[in-house]
Structure 1
Amino acid sequence: MAEIQPLRGWRYNPELGSRIAELVSPLFDVVSPKQRAALYQNPLNSIHLSVPLGDDPAGAALTRLREWQSRGILRQDELPGIYAYYQYFRLPGSAQAYCRKGFMCHIRAYDWAENVVLRHENTLPASVNDRAELLARTEFQTSATHGLYRDDAFELEQYLDEAMRTPLYETEEDYQGARDVLAVIQDARIIRRFQQVLADREVILADGHHRYEGSLAYRRARQQAAPDATGREPWNYHLMYLTNAAADDLRILPTHRLLLELPGNLSDEEFLCRLTPYFTVLPRPEATDLPEFIAGKLWAFGLYLNGQAYKIRLRPEVHQQLDWETTPEVKALDLTVLHFFVLEKALGIAGPEAQRSWPGVTYARNFAECLLRVDNGEARAALIVNEVRMNEVEAVCHSGAVMPPKSTFFYPKTIGGFLFSSIADEEADNHFTAYYQHHAPR
């Protein structure tokens, strides 16, 4: 199934590595404008490679990359390795400590039709093109996408734990409150065992669909230009962070929906009236209790409308009206129910494509922000949802379908700047590559 390869990672030199917290950055699709403005002030921050500025951003990234390489700001490890990456964190409002264990490596950039890397969401063409252009110009991968494999025996964690005894980098606390630690495994016997375990696995793409599709687009372009290529060229591979889907420390946070407007300028009363054929609507005295009141309940949501809180729950007998052309696994999801019965049936925004382009809905992960934006008039209503469960993600991926937009928010997000990866042609010119590829599954 999945072919993975070690890589000779590019990293900040040891002197800069001692203050790595100043050089890391959030992923390109979650960094806020305020964060960007602050990070750009540091001329050595990794954001200059991952989210470059200027009239020709990709060209600016290439110029900076070549400068950093020539000055020794970035240096390439002599030996190939698999890079252990741990994130220690707590969830908002909880004292429980978690550690998400994973590792970064190269994975073959499989087309979706090969059913080795599985997706659970659609992408926006403009964002894919942006990532593909940056990759084509620099041949440098600045942040790993997040993939999930399932190993109920937890075989690889013992090797990751051992590597973590001698870390390469460590942050005290990143922008989201997590502590990030990087280590490396360069023992050929252990690396081959990683390859063998993943050879029996499919990989679910948790985060980074645009970056992964950017790699696919670049690989296809190179294949068309070189029809006699062997399939072993560096540009066939993609940088991925892999974590075990069986682990308890894999957290998915909910993403709530904010209705910025009600179509046709519906009144609050008309909106509630349109919901009642599909939902039981129960007023609640305290909006702050909504997450607890819907927790663990199928097809249940919180509604905050003009200062009043409600619990709404789908009437089970109407679920059969959900007639979108998708799989039973997708139809069973809370968010599919929400999008069909609230956005389509109650508000008249018919179909997934129309909903994706409708400017009247936006998304927020912070529950308190949802209430605040309704109270200050930025939004007409907030729809509070439960988190998607990991078994639901797996079921949808294996059904071959995709979820509604913004269904999952895997937490914490990985950070950029810990490890960079080159897929330039010269990366093939070493005996390490031939050795590991010889032992890899095809």
Structure 2
Amino acid sequence: MSTPGSVGQGLQLVPFRGLRYVPERVGSLAAVTSPPYDVVVRPDGLRELETADPHNIVRLILPQADSPADRSRRAAETLERWLAEGVLAADPEPALYVYQQDDGEVLQRGVIGALRLSPREEGVVLPHEEVMPHVVEDRADLMRATGAHLEPLLLAYRGHGAPADAVESGVDPDARDNGAAGVIERTVAGSPLLATTTEDGVDHLLWRVTDPADLAAITTDLSHRQALIADGHHRWATYLRLRAERPDPGPWDFGLVLLVDTARYPLRVRAIHRLLHQLPVDRALKTLGDAFRVRAVDGPLPQALAALDEAARPGPAGNAFLVAGGGRFHLLDRPDPALLARTVPADRPEAWRTLDATVLHSLLLDHLWKVPDAPEHIGYIHDAAAAVDQAERRGGTAVLLRPVSEDVVHDLARQGVAMPHKSTSFGPKPATGLVLRSLALG
């Protein structure tokens, strides 16, 4: 996203002394990393990560104990012990960090830093999803206890990578690389601070940026920009809550983020699926009545997902869902327009009212199935195969969705309209554990 100077001072990214794993104290950097906390498929994924290395970062971001207070306390004690033992250590001077991910098909580069959260940033960082209060409270407890930001948010902005953007902003195309993009491209030509390949085959590389001229170039470039929260709405809400608790200036005025210029490195948008723990699929289908057209579709999963894609139709009543469980797939489409009109709130833009996530929560979960939006009833799972597998093993129902267009996300965000929580999954997401921020270090 690119905006004129009317959005205040734009993005203000400052260097910090990153906390990083000391390679000699761990089995491998790949073995101590993790996906973001909300992508880990629990409990299987959690156990797999915990056993990969005794110092895996999940012991900080997803500590295991009998109560929320005990979990946060355990994470704080673990972090303190790892620092004392030299498992984690702070870099010698403040820096911004260039971060690259490459899976052989998608290359992504961005800058990790501490983003100012002051009130004048309102309208500069744009959320697009609602948040769940209990998740914000959980993350707030963890951040208070550890005094650290353990994983960066993913923020998307539009720099001068696209010719149309350069023309629109009046920037000389020959000077495009003098800003953040130029610093990134020059930095990756040098030797990385660290490099590792995670089990999924993705190469992760990190460089440190400390040169005053490079830092100034990034600062000047970002000062004219706004960003969309691509991943991390709950952590962003947590940053704002914790900052509001501390009126005096200090380290809580900043939050750890990864900024990616999507004009150069477009993000992928995927759906987040629902796992209904306590709703057997037979009961879910029986309760539908005439609310949708319901058809059994053949598997395996890729073939069933193809049927879901083919059912897509633009506009009202064009919603479609794939319901899985009991070894079967059922396609739900063509919802009853009259029922949509009665159950979907009418005080929002049409682009919001016709979202699959909106219809899912308003018509299916709230009206027909009466499933409370609580962790014991609904799980939010990024991987379709994992959602189906858990539904099969636990006797529940998986509801698979299609991804939302990135243009729709941007348009609603600019209007200040929040999508239902867990509507989108932008990626590639940064690996957790490569660089942390201790608030004690500023």
TM-score by length of 2: 0.77
- State the distance in 1 between where 2:155 and 2:139 align: 18
1:234 lines up with 2:244 in the alignment: no
Structure 1 equivalent of residue 236 of structure 2: 212
Aligned pair count reads 402
Q: Give 1:150's aligned amino acid.
A: R
1:150 to 148, 151, 158: 158
1:8 lines up with 2:11 in the alignment: no
Q: 1:158–1:67: structure 2 CA closer, same or farther, 3 Å change rule? A: same
Structure 1 equivalent of residue 186 of structure 2: 162
1:333 lines up with 2:378 in the alignment: no
Unmatched tracts of structure 2, length 5 or more: 1-9, 163-176
2:128 to 105, 120, 124: 120
1:293 lines up with 2:307 in the alignment: yes
Unmatched tracts of structure 1, length 5 or more: 91-96, 224-228, 428-442
Kept after mapping to 2: 8 A contact 1:143/1:419: yes
Q: Give 1:331's aligned amino acid.
A: R
Q: Give 2:206's aligned amino acid.
A: L
State the secondary structure of the residue aligned to 2:106. Answer: strand
- State the distance in 2 between where 1:30 and 1:308 align: 24
Kept after mapping to 1: 8 A contact 2:270/2:403: yes
Structure 1 equivalent of residue 214 of structure 2: 190
- State the distance in 2 between where 1:170 and 1:63 align: 28
Structure 2 equivalent of residue 250 of structure 1: 267
- State the distance in 1 between where 2:86 and 2:281 align: 60
State the secondary structure of the residue aligned to 2:395. Answer: coil
Q: 1:355–1:390: structure 2 CA closer, same or farther, 3 Å change rule? A: farther
What per-residue deviation string (whole Å, max 9, x for no partner) do you get for residues 184-236 of structure 1? 2222112112112221122222222222222222222221xxxxx3x4x2221
Structure 1 equivalent of residue 141 of structure 2: 133
Bigger drift between 26-35 and 307-316 goes to 307-316
> Between the two proteins, what is the percent identity of the paired residues?
26
Q: How far did residue 271 of structure 1 move? A: 2.4
Structure 2 equivalent of residue 417 of structure 1: 433
Structure 2 equivalent of residue 65 of structure 1: 79
- State the distance in 1 between where 2:338 and 2:279 align: 26
- State the distance in 1 between where 2:305 and 2:385 align: 11
Kept after mapping to 2: 8 A contact 1:302/1:385: yes
State the secondary structure of the residue aligned to 1:153. Answer: coil
1:181 lines up with 2:205 in the alignment: yes
Structure 2 equivalent of residue 45 of structure 1: 56
1:199 lines up with 2:223 in the alignment: yes
Q: How far did residue 106 of structure 1 move? A: 0.4
Q: How far did residue 250 of structure 1 move? A: 0.9
Structure 1 equivalent of residue 405 of structure 2: 389
Q: How far did residue 183 of structure 1 move? A: 1.3
Kept after mapping to 2: 8 A contact 1:275/1:342: no
2:196 to 158, 171, 174: 171
Structure 2 equivalent of residue 431 of structure 1: none
Q: Give 1:33's aligned amino acid.
A: P
- State the distance in 2 between where 1:40 and 1:266 align: 36
Structure 2 equivalent of residue 21 of structure 1: 30
State the secondary structure of the residue aligned to 1:391. Answer: helix
Matches within 5 A, 1:239-318: 239-247=256-264, 249-258=266-275, 268=285, 271-276=288-293, 284=297, 288=301, 289-295=303-309, 297-298=313-314, 299-304=318-323, 307=328, 309-310=330-331, 312-314=333-335
Q: How far did residue 143 of structure 1 move? A: 1.1
What per-residue deviation string (whole Å, max 9, x for no partner) do you get for residues 107-143 of structure 1? 0125699222222223233332232233223322211
- State the distance in 1 between where 2:75 and 2:388 align: 40
Kept after mapping to 1: 8 A contact 2:31/2:198: no
- State the distance in 2 between where 1:119 and 1:257 align: 21
- State the distance in 2 between where 1:61 and 1:286 align: 42
Matches within 5 A, 1:349-428: 349=370, 356-357=373-374, 361-369=378-386, 378-379=395-396, 382-424=398-440, 427=442
Kept after mapping to 2: 8 A contact 1:290/1:302: no
Q: How far did residue 318 of structure 1 move? A: 7.9
- State the distance in 2 between where 1:26 and 1:108 align: 25
- State the distance in 2 between where 1:302 and 1:362 align: 16
